[in-house]
């Protein structure tokens, strides 16, 4: 029988444990000397100082972690409702501030992350009951997460990551791309208002008003940041991986597409045109180069032209290289001319004296497999197409062009063996058959949506589970079992 002194000892131990950070042993809340959120210098989640932004998020997370799942659902429901009300406004402001992409496609991206990012409902408890007892494994928060967001999907990533990260009981400090800091700040403030209005804590999500790489370093060094999550280029991801903390990295891609000799050419032309031109190709998972097996090459080029693409001749292609790309200073190859990233096809073509209707969303050109348009990820609506002698050659070229990013790839084929062979060879996080690659992230396809595709670190199509720790609870001696 347990006496009162034993009960008192247990209670004291539980209270002591409640004062510790999630995931820590021996680091007390008091040791951080955290100021109250109300005394910080933030403006509805937007802070000038890194430490103040982190402290406010840390205080909010200590409160948020005590919210029941039903309460988290209510708060996330309000985030979705408020975000839907601002979709058109935010799509326009993102286009205005970043100068990249297409308004109507940004509306679609926003709606996808609002409607198809899972909340706490995906955090299913796993249980094993046997002769030795009962084992439970549950998803627990890391604590405060630092999230680095890109200029290509600024508000979309904030909405997506906010839902995923707070669903698991975390809070978030955003270091947004400087070229999207105004609209990002507006988004963070409005989402903060939604959280508070639904009964959640203030500053559950925060951001730096003037984000830089220096603020990223400060965030990485802050002991209250438990997880670093970055969406952007491989340079950023590699830097995060060296910070010494748990990292989730969503890096670059150069997605290849194969159109084999059995493909439905009308479908391939329609879907590749749709995907490669979507938001002017600034998405990392968008189709970047196409490898067409010889019997279908001319037919494919004809049909994608009928979709509305402008087919460049050899001379026009050579001129366009000088517009879209720049030779690297060390002479080792080409890099993207950032001035033309995410611009309309009509504006890009105008630079070489070609005038097309604004309805033309894509320029296509026939090139060799080693052409810089194939090897360099452009992030603009210029699509190189390579003529291949066989399916095996197409796979070989596609593997080289993907550069081992293991991000996204696709194939148009009716041959089950071809579908299987390419999937096994390319090993990408997203592999789409007979549709746009955006279908692989739930935009026009099944499954949940994300803007944080963590190929380098293995989490894949992230959701709330990706930003949680798995914790095991074991009740031994057959306790609670009724059979």
Q: How confident is the model at residue 242 (pLDDT cuts 50, 70, 90)?
A: confident
CATH code, 38-251+460-475: 3.40.605.10
pLDDT at 281 over 70: yes
Tell me which of 199-208, 218-227, 327-336, 402-411 is least confident.
327-336
| Whole-number Å distance between alpha carbons of 177 and 213 | 10
**Fold classified for 256-446:** Aldehyde Dehydrogenase; Chain A, domain 2 (3.40.309)
pLDDT at 82 over 50: yes
In this structure, how many other beta carbons lie within 10 angstroms of the beta carbon of residue 128?
12
Tell me which of 221-235, 372-386, 434-448 is least confident.
221-235
| Whole-number Å distance between alpha carbons of 221 and 215 | 10
For the entire predicted model, the pTM comes to 0.89
Residue 97, pLDDT score = 98
| Whole-number Å distance between alpha carbons of 160 and 118 | 9
Residue 466's beta-bridge partner residues?
Answer: none
Residue 479, pLDDT score = 63
Q: Which two tokens stand for residue 401?
A: 């062009």
Residue 40, pLDDT score = 52
Residue 26, pLDDT score = 35
Side by side, the strands of the sheet bearing 468-476 are 126-130, 133-141, 468-476
User: What are the pLDDT digits (tens) for 406-430?
Assistant: 999 999 999 999 999 999 999 999 9
Residue 94, pLDDT score = 98
Judge whether 212 and 244 are in contact, CB under 8 Å: no
pLDDT at 48 over 70: yes
Do the domains 38-251+460-475 and 256-446 sit in the same CATH topology, yes or no? no
Secondary structure of the chain as H, E, C letters: CCCHHHHHHHHHHHHHHHCECCCCCCCECHHHCCCCHHHCCCECCEECCHHHHHHHHHHHHHHHCCCCHHHHHHHHHHHHHHHHHHHHHHHHHHHHHHCCCCHHHHHHHHHHHHHHCCCHHHCCCEEEEECCEEEEEEEEECCEEEEECCCCCHHHHHHHHHHHHHHCCCEEEEECCHHHHHHHHHHHHHHHHHHHHCCCCCCCEEEECCCCHHHHHHHHHCCCEEEEEEECCHHHHHHHHCCCCCEEEECCCCCEEEECCCCCHHHHHHHHHHHHHHHHHCCCCCCCEEEEEHHHHHHHHHHHHHHCCEECCHHHHHHHHHHHEEECCCCCCEEECHHHCCCCHHHHHHCCCCCCCCCCCCEEEEECCCCHHHHCCCCCCEEEEEEECCHHHHHHHHHHHHCCCCCEEEEECCCHHHHHHHHHHHCCCEEEECCCHHHHHCCCCCCCCCCCEECCCCCEECCHHHHEEEEEEEEECCCCCCC
Judge whether 195 and 205 are in contact, CB under 8 Å: yes
Which value, in Å, is the radius of gyration of the alpha carbons in the chain? 25
pLDDT at 330 over 90: no
Judge whether 389 and 294 are in contact, CB under 8 Å: yes
Q: How confident is the model at residue 66 (pLDDT cuts 50, 70, 90)?
A: very high
Q: How confident is the model at residue 27 (pLDDT cuts 50, 70, 90)?
A: very low
- Side-chain half-sphere of 306: how many Cα atoms within 13 Å? 13
Burial class (CB in 10 A: 0-12, 13-18, 19+), 308: middle
Residue 478, pLDDT score = 66
pLDDT at 60 over 90: yes
Residue 388's beta-bridge partner residues?
Answer: 293
Structural domain boundaries of the chain? 38-251+460-475, 256-446
Residue 241, pLDDT score = 74
pLDDT at 447 over 90: yes
- Percent of all residues in the chain with a pLDDT value above 70, rounded to a whole number: 91
């Amino acid at each position: 029988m347990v006496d009162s002194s034993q009960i008192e000892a247990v209670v004291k131990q539980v209270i002591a444990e409640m004062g510790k950070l999630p995931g820590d042993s021996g680091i007390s809340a008091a040791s951080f000397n955290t100021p109250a959120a109300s005394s910080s210098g933030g403006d509805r989640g937007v802070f000038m100082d890194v430490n103040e932004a982190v402290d406010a998020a840390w205080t909010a997370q200590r409160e948020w972690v005590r919210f029941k799942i039903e309460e988290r659902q209510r708060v996330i429901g309000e985030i979705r409702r408020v975000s839907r009300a601002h979709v058109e406004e935010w799509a326009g402001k993102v286009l205005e501030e970043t100068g990249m992409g297409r308004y109507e496609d940004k509306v679609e991206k926003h709606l996808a992350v609002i409607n198809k990012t899972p909340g706490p409902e995906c955090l299913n408890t796993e249980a094993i009951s046997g002769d030795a007892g009962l084992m439970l494994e549950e998803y627990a928060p890391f604590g405060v997460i630092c999230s680095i967001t890109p200029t290509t999907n600024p508000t979309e990533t904030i909405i997506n990551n906010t839902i995923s990260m707070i669903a698991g009981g975390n809070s978030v400090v955003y270091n947004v791309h400087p070229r999207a800091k105004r609209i990002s700040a507006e988004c963070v403030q409005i989402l903060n208002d939604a959280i508070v209005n639904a009964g959640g804590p203030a500053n559950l999500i925060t951001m730096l008003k003037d984000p830089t790489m220096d603020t990223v370093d400060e965030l990485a060094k802050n002991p209250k940041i438990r997880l670093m999550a970055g969406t952007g280029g491989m340079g950023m991801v590699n830097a995060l991986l060296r910070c010494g903390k748990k990292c989730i990295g969503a890096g670059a891609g150069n997605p290849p597409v194969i159109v084999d000799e059995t493909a439905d050419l009308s479908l391939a032309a329609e879907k590749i045109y749709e995907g490669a031109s979507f938001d002017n190709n600034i998405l990392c998972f968008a189709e970047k180069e196409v490898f067409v097996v010889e019997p279908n090459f001319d037919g494919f080029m004809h049909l994608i032209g009928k979709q509305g693409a402008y087919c460049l001749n050899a001379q026009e292609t050579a001129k366009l290289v000088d517009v879209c790309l720049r030779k690297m200073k060390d002479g080792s190859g080409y890099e993207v001319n950032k001035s033309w990233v995410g611009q309309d096809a009509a504006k890009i073509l105008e630079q070489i004296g070609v005038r097309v209707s604004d309805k033309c969303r894509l320029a296509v050109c026939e090139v060799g497999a080693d052409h810089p348009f194939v090897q360099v990820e452009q992030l603009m609506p210029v699509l190189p197409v390579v003529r291949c002698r066989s399916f095996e050659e197409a796979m070989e070229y596609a593997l080289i062009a993907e550069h081992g990013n293991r991000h996204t790839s696709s194939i148009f084929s009716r041959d089950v063996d071809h579908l299987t062979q390419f999937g096994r060879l390319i090993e990408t996080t997203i592999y789409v058959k007979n549709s746009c690659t955006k279908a692989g992230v739930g935009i026009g396809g099944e499954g949940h949506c994300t803007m944080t595709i963590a190929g380098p670190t293995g989490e894949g199509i992230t959701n709330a589970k990706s930003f949680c720790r798995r914790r095991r609870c074991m009740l031994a001696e057959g306790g609670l079992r009724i059979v």
